[in-house]
Amino acid sequence: MSNAGSTPGTAPGSAVFARLPDLREGLADLYRDLHTHPELSFAETRTAGLIAERLRALGLDVTTGVGRTGVVGVLANGDGPHVLLRADFDALPVTEQTGLPYASGTDGVMHACGHDMHVACLLGALDLLAGGRAYWTGTVTAVFQPAEETGAGARAMVDDGLFDRTGKPDVVLGQHVGPFPAGSLGCHAGPALAATDALKVTLHGKGAHGSRPEAAIDPVVMAASTVMRLQTVVSREIAGSDTAVVTVGVLNAGTTQNVIPDTAELKLNIRTYTEEVRKTVLAAVRRIIEGEAAAAGATRTPDIEPIETFAVLVNDDDAMDRTATAFREHFGTERVFDPGPATGSEDCGTFATASGAPICYWFFGGIDPDTFAKAEAAGTTARDIPSNHSPHFAPVVEPTLSTGVEAMTTAALTWLSPDPENRR
């Protein structure tokens, strides 16, 4: 697959893509700049400023500070459908280990999920749409969202009056770069991304000297027993036909080797697709945590606090079919596949739920195709291909960037057509 990006197809509106070759270098520079300057959730002030500056240069009506650091640009072009295009732009508290010349310049912060790529792709699509007004009618609302990683950004923008400012869209379109071959697109109708429940658990014991465990109620042992018992929730309480993931990502206890502490802290991440399974898992998790504390002789019930919550993202069947059909026409059938549901989570669905519009959300690959093919042939993709949130995750600039720009533009044109015959 050529690093020059794909060749635009012959579907209606393809003339809009004529300027893409001229945009690639500038968009790549922007992507590398964003990657070097990552910002955490609700602290994306530099990123928001760059986005707003570019939107104004394209002639969009720009509003900043929506949901704290969110940016909204509106491109109105006569009567027609109203399409919301969304990109997120926060980074993660991860120390980058890619070794790239444009690696993060901020210690302990990295664009490990590809949100910098999302921004560059949406800005590229808006540039094409703004320069191709003769080929579509309607309104494009570009939503650049903060704090996706905490599950709070989309809700913050909605609660801050996003739809009072822009009106409600007819469809919500979004995309995410992932560990697939660059140049490919993954489209799955129905439940596409899982719900998340993140919990903070504080186990209360009784501290004592390390030499006198009989005088303590050891929260470290309590935590260890809890972690191991939690591994049985999915394997013994969830049917094989259902899906759930329970992960303990944090276990903190104590300050030195010869002191048994008073407390231990766990942080859990739970993924499910249905409300029934979600309730079953949450009830089992609570029962096990409280049961292990009781078995250890704890004199106080553990504290279980929610940290963040994401709803299931459910792609509308008709919206996905319509958009994926356009992708196959533009890119070729061989480049569009169904990845199945993913256990990752996303809050983009909040915009659809809050507005009552259908959502179509897809993935585009970011891994060098030859590298991916070799790992796939060896059966080592899980080991050798860095996934999102890895300190080694870094999409190849091309053809990832061009594919993301073309995909977002193609999806928008599918819903923004001046002629019903051209709506595919």
* Residue 303 falls inside a structural domain: yes
Long-range Cβ contacts of 14-18 (<8 Å, 24+ apart): 14/330, 15/132, 15/135, 16/128, 16/129, 16/131, 16/132, 16/135, 16/136, 16/409, 16/413, 17/128, 17/406, 17/409
Output the domain CATH number for residue 294.
Answer: 3.30.70.360
- Backbone region of residue 197 per phi and psi (left: phi > 0; alpha: psi in -120 to 50; beta: other values): beta
164 shares a domain with 71: yes
User: What are φ and ψ of residue 179, in 5° steps?
Assistant: -80, 60
DSSP assignment of 264-297 equals: EEEEEEEEESSHHHHHHHHHHHHHHHHHHHHHTT
Bridge partners of 309? 197
175 shares a domain with 53: yes
340 shares a domain with 206: no
201 shares a domain with 186: no
Question: Domain boundary residue among 310, 335, 356?
Answer: 310
Output the domain CATH number for residue 56.
Answer: 3.40.630.10
How would you write the pLDDT of the chain (424 residues) with one tens digit per residue? 333 344 444 454 678 999 999 999 999 999 999 999 999 999 999 999 999 999 999 999 999 999 999 999 999 999 999 999 999 999 999 999 999 999 999 999 999 999 999 999 999 999 999 999 999 999 999 999 999 999 999 999 999 999 999 999 999 999 999 999 999 999 999 999 999 999 999 999 999 999 999 999 999 999 999 999 999 999 999 999 999 999 999 999 999 999 999 999 999 999 999 999 999 999 999 999 999 999 999 999 999 999 999 999 999 999 999 999 999 999 999 999 999 999 999 999 999 999 999 999 999 999 999 999 999 999 999 999 999 999 999 999 999 999 999 999 999 999 997 644 443 3
* Residue 290 falls inside a structural domain: yes
199 shares a domain with 153: no
* Residue 5 falls inside a structural domain: no
Q: How far is CA 365 from the centre of its chain?
A: 14
Question: Domain boundary residue among 262, 279, 310?
Answer: 310
- Global pTM exceeds 0.95: no
Of 340, 417, 36, 309, nearest in space to 178 by CA: 340
Q: Are 38 and 94 in contact (CB under 8 A)?
A: no
* Residue 112 falls inside a structural domain: yes
* Residue 6 falls inside a structural domain: no
318 shares a domain with 259: no
* Residue 7 falls inside a structural domain: no
Joined together, the tokens standing for residue 201 give 């658990």
CA distance 71 to 64: 5
231 shares a domain with 299: yes
Q: Are 253 and 265 in contact (CB under 8 A)?
A: yes
Question: Domain boundary residue among 279, 310, 341?
Answer: 310
Structurally, the chain folds into a number of domains equal to: 2
134 shares a domain with 32: yes
* Residue 275 falls inside a structural domain: yes
66 shares a domain with 144: yes
Residue 35's domain spans which residues? 14-193+312-422
* Residue 167 falls inside a structural domain: yes
226 shares a domain with 112: no
Give the amino acid at 267. Answer: K
